[in-house]
Structure 1
Amino acid sequence: MAIHVQPSRMSARQAMSDYVPPAALPTHVLQRLDVQQALARKDFGRLFYLTRKWGGISYSKIAESCDIKPERVGTLARGKGGITTYDKIIQIADGMRIPGHFLGLLPRPWEAATASSSIAGQPGHPEVAAVELAGQMYESELLRHLGQQWHHLVKTDNLLGPRAALRGVCDQIRIIEELLNLASFGTALRKGLLSLAARYAESASWLYEDSGDVVKAHAWTDRAVQWAYEADDQAMLAWAFFRKSQQAEEPGNSIALAETAQRNRDALPRPMRSAIVQQQAAGFARIGDEQGAHRLFDQALEWAVDPDLYGDARNGHGSFCTLSYIELERARAWTVLGLPQRAVAIYDHVIPRMPVVYQRDRGVALARCAAAYTFLEEPEHAAVLAREALAIAHATGTGRAVNDLAAIAAPLRRHQALPVVKRLLNELDAAGEN
């Protein structure tokens, strides 16, 4: 006789609620005051440490549940670095089964699944409760989607330059502003939208800056500060002040703004802290403080991140601040300090090893290397590098490289009898007319 197995009637929602990740926080751990304080600060290193101490859950299990490298979990638990990106916070919340309200998030889908399994047995209006849960899940997915789009646009910028990314960033800001007009004050949705608005506004500021539109760049930085402050997003606020520091014309003002950005430095993630410190180092170079500049560059190296081969800022703001990036900025400082021979030694070593995704930054580095060779009275070599940089600048629409190249046109004109220099000057003149 054939045996017929009755198919399971367990829904996907039930399956979601029944699954328990290896690093799910036990109730007694989640109820501890020190754990809740760590969650309120989004201090995940402290959370991991306390989870192992009070819950007996190993770092390897935490890494498995949260899709984080085990060594990264250990580094965070030792108090080095932090996590602030929305996507990573979501990964940890889901991997450790942390209810959204502990982290200022909307309820996660698995919370809705667990809650809905008990709705039917509760008095009142289960249909209304189910609709509310569905709405919360929609809002959570909406914020995640808007955050994902930002990563795609960051990569677009790195590959193709500001012209290709700017329209997309402005479109996203318009969508977020429309949603903000509909979101109720004091809700998790509104706070999440404000953080995203600040993130996109800072990106708009950078893209306009890179395109050469200084006025719009400053305006968008101010919007980023406003939205980050309203969202109480301290990391985003620090990053907006970093951008202000980059845009400051006066070196002392740049240094002061970088110092402001580091006001809560111990809470900042490693990539962000590294980027801000190297920006401060650049300010010291501009005022002629060689010792101070290189001391800060060395500090920035301590916080630098592994090479970002994807160029989409998955590690958060400052993901670009790798060891190579800091050395390129150090090279620029050597030129500013009047020692171009030290600058070219760095440029010649680092530029050939730059990840292909950072095409725009390669063009900028080539332009600055050309400037250093100009000061060394090697006009032909400078012109060759400058023409390559100009081609990349035209393709990506970056104004920084063009500005750097325009600055070396004057000292190269006395060498215009050299064919390669003459071609470069003609190309620069044509670019200036356009």
Structure 2
Amino acid sequence: MPKYEEPFGLPARLLSDPEMIDACRKRDFPRVFTLAKRRGGFHASLIARRCDLTPSRVGEVMKGERQIRDIGVIERVADGLRIPGHMLGLARREWETPKALRGDTVHVEQRGPVVVPGQRPTVASALPSVDLDSILAAASGPRLSPSTLRALQASIEDYWRRDDQHGGEVLRPAVVGQLRYVIETIKETPDGRFRRDLFGIAAELARLTGWTHFDARQYSQARMYFAEALQLAKAIDDRQFMANVLACMSLQATYEDKPADAVALSTAAQDTTRGHGGTPRVMAMLAMREAFAHASTNNRSAAHAAIAEAHRQFERTSDTDPDPSWVTYFDEPKLIVDTGIVHSRLGEAATAEPLIADVLRRGHGANQRGRAFHAFWLATTQLQRGNRDQACHTATVALESAAVVGSERVTGHLREFQQRLAPFGKEPAAVMFEARLRAMLS
């Protein structure tokens, strides 16, 4: 009888299958484990052993009775089943790097693509393996030029546009891949202008990756990438970008219900760039972030003072200011709507409503997440003022935009609105909104 050999990792044909790709992207581990068992040769006890789980837990996950959300467990699943990190929204795993790039000897096994008779080859079968691709890239070395740097910067701007339109979860694997490529290029680039520019690009990619995790409410991963962005910016003493990252971390702290941290991070952001090239637009954005932080502690006087400082700084802006590209989004409508949101957070609905409504009427172009987010806050102020029918109508506008953008942060706000409707749950407008929310979530 031939000896049974345990599979080393999931076969390439399964990892390139659209069903497995979709299951990994959604972190649908009941499907991942079921596919691993049926088509990858991983029975439940083997999955448990490789992923450092109990067999009973694996069985419960496969039945849909338990979920896997802890990032540490997700990393063990990736390593145990040899699922590339990008498929699960993780950083590149150590075992994905070829031994040749780790300084060890490497044995390259030559093998042809597996073709099943009568089956069309997949796209993946026509591509080089990850290991071979990395080896060839390392052998060719970086070919840097001003046009290369412009192309990398343009791709970041495109990622942000697509993040606004569709959410960042789908973009994340591509962004992480580009981040790791830039970091490897930095290691091979001598000191000089190109190296400094590469550090700046890597910092922006790390912040974008952190933002996509934050928007998905995956806070531990977001914090890791924000910290990486901070270190990359610090390496080239880019004080303005360091302040930008600290401001992102402050906003995340408000969502994690850590108001003291939010205030400390927002004030540190301003201290970091004050007197070190911070333009009026940058300082206005940072002051508004401080206002958000104070609102989370319900400190009215401090929040109002921060709002006043944001408006004072914004009045000093000029078209000739050397604003970094990442702050150009903070225009007059953004200043106005953020002012309204801070007032709403403080319970000052009468002041907040006309500010948010004015910006919502102006439109958001392709920024579906911004439209959903602002519609939620307008609905919240309307509900605070007792206009329940109008609030439900506005919240439905938020639902329409939320349905086309993958943002757990926006979805979470809509669930909060549903909870605030609970005392009025039998009213027709509330019943209709809840039905539409359930339909969207399903």
TM-score band (shorter)?
Answer: 0.5 to 0.7
Q: Distance in 2 between matches of 1:242 and 1:364?
A: 19
Contact 2:280 2:316 in 1 (8 A): no
Q: Distance in 2 between matches of 1:405 and 1:379?
A: 15
Contact 2:209 2:225 in 1 (8 A): yes
Which position in structure 1 is the counterpart of 2:334? Answer: 325
Q: Which residue of the other structure, out of 277, 295, 302, is the alignment partner of 1:285?
A: 295
Query: Do structure 1's residue 214 and structure 2's residue 219 form an aligned pair?
Result: yes
TM-score (normalised: structure 2)? 0.61
Give, in angstroms, the shift of residue 137 of structure 1: 8.9
Q: Which residue of the other structure, out of 250, 263, 266, is the alignment partner of 2:258?
A: 250
Q: Distance in 2 between matches of 1:195 and 1:315?
A: 11
Contact 1:204 1:220 in 2 (8 A): yes
Distance 1:285 1:306, change over 3 A: same
Q: Which residue of the other structure, out of 235, 238, 250, is the alignment partner of 1:233?
A: 238
Distance 1:166 1:426, change over 3 A: same
Q: Which residue of the other structure, out of 403, 406, 410, is the alignment partner of 1:397?
A: 406
Report 1 or 2 for greater relative contact order, CA contacts < 8 Å, sequence distance ≥ 6. 1
What secondary structure sits across from 1:212 in the alignment?
coil
Give, in angstroms, the shift of residue 198 of structure 1: 0.6
Query: Do structure 1's residue 261 and structure 2's residue 266 form an aligned pair?
Result: no
How many residues are paired up?
293
Q: Which residue of the other structure, out of 391, 410, 413, is the alignment partner of 1:382?
A: 391
Query: Do structure 1's residue 341 and structure 2's residue 341 form an aligned pair?
Result: no
Q: Distance in 1 between matches of 2:425 and 2:394?
A: 16
Which position in structure 2 is the counterpart of 1:411? Answer: 420
Give, in angstroms, the shift of residue 164 of structure 1: 5.0
Q: Distance in 2 between matches of 1:213 and 1:353?
A: 32
Contact 1:177 1:197 in 2 (8 A): yes
Q: CA RMSD in A?
A: 2.7
Give, in angstroms, the shift of residue 397 of structure 1: 0.9
Q: Distance in 2 between matches of 1:355 and 1:328?
A: 12
Give, in angstroms, the shift of residue 151 of structure 1: 1.4
TM-score (normalised: structure 1)? 0.62
Give, in angstroms, the shift of residue 407 of structure 1: 1.0
Which position in structure 2 is the counterpart of 1:77? Answer: none
Which position in structure 2 is the counterpart of 1:179? Answer: 185
Q: Which amino acid aligns with 1:253?
A: D
Mean CA deviation greater in 296-305 or 282-291: 296-305
Contact 2:368 2:404 in 1 (8 A): no
Which position in structure 1 is the counterpart of 2:109? Answer: none
Contact 2:368 2:402 in 1 (8 A): no
Contact 1:306 1:323 in 2 (8 A): no
Give, in angstroms, the shift of residue 180 of structure 1: 2.4
Contact 2:142 2:185 in 1 (8 A): no
Contact 2:142 2:189 in 1 (8 A): no
1:186-231 deviations in Å (ceiling 9; x for gaps): 3433322111111111111112212222222111101101211223
1:227-265 deviations in Å (ceiling 9; x for gaps): 112232222212111111111132222121111112232
Distance 1:284 1:205, change over 3 A: same
Q: Distance in 2 between matches of 1:318 and 1:332?
A: 19
Q: Which residue of the other structure, out of 373, 385, 395, is the alignment partner of 1:364?
A: 373
What secondary structure sits across from 2:396 in the alignment?
helix
Contact 2:376 2:414 in 1 (8 A): yes
What secondary structure sits across from 2:404 in the alignment?
helix
Distance 1:340 1:165, change over 3 A: same
1:280-327 deviations in Å (ceiling 9; x for gaps): 1112222223232222212212333999xxxxx995222221222122
Distance 1:136 1:302, change over 3 A: farther
Q: Which amino acid aligns with 2:293?
A: G
Unaligned runs of 5+ in 2: 1-140
Contact 1:334 1:343 in 2 (8 A): yes
What secondary structure sits across from 1:331 in the alignment?
helix
Distance 1:394 1:166, change over 3 A: farther
Distance 1:202 1:303, change over 3 A: same
Give, in angstroms, the shift of residue 430 of structure 1: 4.8
What secondary structure sits across from 2:327 in the alignment?
coil
Give, in angstroms, the shift of residue 158 of structure 1: 2.4
Which position in structure 1 is the counterpart of 2:38? Answer: none
Q: Distance in 1 between matches of 2:341 and 2:222?
A: 23
Query: Do structure 1's residue 200 and structure 2's residue 205 form an aligned pair?
Result: yes
Q: Distance in 1 between matches of 2:199 and 2:337?
A: 34
Q: Distance in 2 between matches of 1:359 and 1:244?
A: 23
Give, in angstroms, the shift of residue 431 of structure 1: 5.0
Give, in angstroms, the shift of residue 178 of structure 1: 2.8
1:128-161 deviations in Å (ceiling 9; x for gaps): xxxxxxx999433322221121112222222333
Which position in structure 2 is the counterpart of 1:122? Answer: none
Which position in structure 2 is the counterpart of 1:294? Answer: 304
Distance 1:168 1:192, change over 3 A: same
Alignment of structure 1 residues 148-163 onto 2, 5 Å: 148-163=154-169
Q: Which residue of the other structure, out of 163, 170, 175, is the alignment partner of 1:169?
A: 175
